[in-house]
Amino acid sequence: MTPSSRVRIATPGRIAGAAAQMAALGLIGPMVFSALFGMLGGGIGLLFALLIGVVVLVALVYALFAVAWFERARVDGLYGFGLPALSPRRSPRPGFVGFLHTVWLQAIDPGQWRAVASFTIGTILGLVTLTAAGLVAWGFALAIAPIVGWPDTRFLGIFPLDGFAAPLVGVIALVASLAAIVGLAVLHGVIVRAIFVPSREAELEERARTSDTRRAGAVRAAEVERTRIERDLHDGVQPRLVSIGMTLGLAQTKIDDDPETAKALVAEAHASTKSAITELRQLARGIHASVLDDRGLDAALSALASRSHIPVTLDVRLPRRCSRPAEAAVYFAIAEALTNAAKHSRATGCRVHVRLREDGTLWARVEDDGLGGARVVPGGGLDGIVNRVTAAGGTARIDSPQGGPTTVEVSVPCAS
């Protein structure tokens, strides 16, 4: 059993809290739904009036998201299920098409609609709770009618209640109404747990699906990284080492006949050797950044920015260290984004922001002022960012409209 499924929903405190909240929903819920249906009718009616209706319908989608966010927070605050906060959906596509896709994703978000359904059920139960609360007041008044001398003791305003009949009916109505309120509160807890807390089987399926996605991302990231290393070795270090060997061979043939030329060739080979060592160090740094382990992400990004071919403005605010996989994923995503900006975007500067958010997510954003138009190509640098971040259990969003700017935003669980 999961911790959220073991939460007790029938404790006195939660029953009282659920009853009070349902009563409040019974008051505000009808007004909220009146506003939502008004927006729906107005949006449809104004759909062809200079597309004003489109704006109203988009506003309706995000009004529903606001209702869903409130309901999810209300339920989690009451029962302590440990539900993650509802966040707006975002499309990975850039530009206006991406905006339309974002609205569509938000409109069909199942988490949003589950929360709206919970709010609807809570409102209905709230109306019944208010009716039961009215019966409690009526039963109490009827029970004490002989004491206070209440003249109107008719049942349902029709049948007269004489003698002990009035207090007896009042007590029965009072007890039955209170029992109904308690039952409604317990029912509310059962319903919202069924809506928001997944079953054990669903959780196992989701874990398996997430594990498969992370495994596929890790395999793809390793393949992209291996291809990059092979390319760098083949195009950079290997030709330089071959050239060093040929230079030393030529120097060997001239060492007896032309010592001066041989010395010059040896000096040239020595200089090329230093360059090859530098390239190998850079290649090794791309595979494993030792400063990341020793001094953390802030220091590693400072070293990365100092080596960048374009100016980089760093804004890193990390109150503590995260796990090694999370820091490595964010570090290499930023490194690849800066490399792409230097090679392809014609950018004159980059801004890097890194934060540790309240939900324990390590978030980073890289934005350049280049030409834009970057696309995720299988085997390319941006593809490597997506796969590496996915392998760490995070998400990546790349926005690069024509004309710029290009933005790479990644979020990775700090304890991934």
CATH code, 221-287:
1.20.5
All residues at 6 or more sequence positions from 5 whose CB lies less than 8 Å from its CB, including other chains: 193, 197, 200
Least confident of 107-121, 127-141, 237-251, 395-409: 237-251
250 burial type by CB count under 10 A (0-12 exposed, 13-18 middle, 19+ buried): middle
84: its two tokens: 């993650």
Average pLDDT over residues 35-55: 84
Domain boundaries, the chain: 1-197, 221-287, 291-413
Task: Please answer whether residues 81 and 75 qualify as being in contact, where contact means their C-beta atoms are separated by less than 8 angstroms.
Answer: yes
Alpha carbon separation from 358 to 3, 85, 362 (Å, rounded): 21, 11, 9
Q: Cα(first)–Cα(last) distance of the chain, in Å?
A: 23
Q: Which residues pair with 317 in a beta bridge?
A: 355
d(CA 139, CA 145): 10
Residue with tokens 């039952």: 183
Name the amino acid, one letter, at 297.
L
Q: What pLDDT, in 10s, does the model give residues 201-253?
A: 555 555 556 555 556 555 565 666 666 666 656 566 667 677 777 777 877 78
**65: pLDDT confidence band, cut at 50, 70 and 90?**
very high
Burial grade of 194 (CB within 10 A; 0-12, 13-18, 19 or more): exposed
Encoded tokens for 291: 């400063």
Confidence of residue 2 (pLDDT cuts 50, 70, 90): very low
Edge-to-edge strand list for the sheet holding 312-317:
312-317, 350-356, 361-368, 407-413, 395-399
Q: Is the pLDDT of residue 13 over 70?
A: yes
Q: Over the stretch 294-315, which tens digit does the pLDDT of each residue have?
A: 778 888 888 878 877 788 888 8
Burial of 3 (0-12, 13-18, 19+ CB in 10 A): exposed
* CATH no. for 291-413: 3.30.565.10
* Structural contact between residues 356 and 362, judged by C-beta atoms closer than 8 angstroms: yes
CA–CA separation, 4 and 325 (whole Å): 28
* Residues 12-38: b if buried by 16+ CB within 10 A, e if exposed: eebbebbbebbbbbbeebeebeeeeee
| HSE value, Cβ hemisphere, 13 Å, CA-based, for 336 | 30
Tell me if the pTM is above 0.75: no
Cis peptide before 405, with omega less than 30 degrees from 0? yes
Write the pLDDT tens digit of every residue in 351-401.
899 988 877 888 889 888 888 777 776 766 777 788 788 877 888 888 887
14: number of CA atoms within 13 Å, CB side? 20
CA 317 to mean position of chain CA atoms: 19
Return the exposure string of 96-123: e unless at least 16 CB atoms fall within 10 Å of the residue's CB, then b.
eebeebbbeebbebebbebbbebbbbbb
